[in-house]
């Protein structure tokens, strides 16, 4: 099994365990954020002078291990992300493989004023309702985990409860997952089955993504020059996590990165 298959199998077990404990109706009734209007990542990406950077908070990855211990609080990192110009904030909520949890999502929402993306392996409508109840503005759907029909169904449900949808693809064969219900399309330069990274994947796919759906480049972005290249190609957003999280002070690393980007004008 590839690591993605392992993660999805574990996610199915996790959903089976927790789904009977909290129904969607309970999320609607008790979810603090259910009635709160959501922040739009699409609008933030298209805003004048937007950095386009969706800065990510994650403590570890399956391929690199721990960047930061579980004791690292989300607050100091995402406050710096917010203050120094993040267009959005991505929060990894998977615990087993990425060291995250839903409390990180809640904290990120209440202490920032930019859109918050719940990044997880979403395969069930229940997870989307959970994301809404815990403060997400945007959810991620990964084409490699889902059929085109599943993407359409899950995205339609997300839209019905006021969430925006970012669809992640990795190759030309996944372009058929793009549908009307998807708001943005991300191109992951990291192969989720091998974890190899290649920026050229974004450059190859950008002209095949519908122009009305803002394109976001994900993974493998470690310098301002790469963003300039991707922006010139047509990308509006840039999801970056490891570049910041591996540093001693992720917030400062983000601030320095943005300063370097602004130097390009």
Catalytic residues: 56, 58, 119, 168, 188, 218-219
- Residue pair 109/138 in contact (Cβ under 8 Å)? The answer is no
Query: Which is it for the CA torsion 197, 198, 201, 202, positive or negative?
Result: positive
CA separation (Å) from 109 to 69, 71, 143, 183, 215?
21, 19, 26, 20, 23
C-alpha separations of 112 from 22, 69, 82, 99 in Å = 27, 22, 6, 21
155 vs 23: CA distance, rounded Å: 19
Taking CA atoms, 60 is separated from 78, 101, 148, 242, 248, in Å, by 16, 12, 29, 9, 14
CA atoms of 129 and 115, how far apart (whole Å): 17
């Amino acid at each position: 099994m590839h690591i993605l298959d392992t993660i999805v199998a574990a996610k199915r077990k996790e959903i089976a365990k927790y789904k009977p404990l909290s129904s969607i109706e309970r999320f609607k009734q008790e979810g603090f954020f259910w009635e709160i209007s959501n922040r739009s990542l699409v609008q933030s990406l298209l805003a004048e002078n937007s950095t386009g950077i969706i800065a990510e908070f994650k403590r570890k990855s399956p391929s690199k291990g721990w960047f930061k211990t579980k004791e690292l609080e989300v607050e100091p990192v995402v406050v710096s992300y917010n203050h120094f110009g993040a267009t959005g904030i991505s929060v990894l909520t998977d615990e087993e493989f990425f060291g995250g949890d839903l409390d990180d999502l809640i904290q990120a929402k209440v202490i920032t004023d930019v859109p918050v993306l719940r990044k997880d392996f979403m395969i069930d409508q229940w997870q989307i309702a959970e994301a809404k109840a815990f403060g997400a503005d945007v959810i991620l759907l990964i084409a490699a985990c889902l059929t085109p029909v599943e993407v359409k169904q899950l995205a339609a449900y997300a839209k019905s409860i006021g969430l925006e949808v970012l669809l992640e693809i990795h190759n030309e064969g996944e372009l058929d997952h793009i549908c009307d219900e998807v708001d943005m399309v991300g191109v992951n330069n990291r192969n989720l089955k091998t974890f190899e990274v290649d920026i050229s994947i974004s450059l190859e796919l950008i002209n095949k993504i519908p122009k009305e759906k803002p394109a976001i480049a994900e993974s493998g972005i470690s310098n301002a020059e790469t963003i300039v290249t991707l922006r010139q190609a047509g990308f509006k957003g840039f999801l970056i996590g490891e570049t910041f999280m591996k540093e001693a002070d992720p917030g400062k690393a983000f601030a320095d990165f943005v300063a370097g980007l602004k130097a390009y004008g």
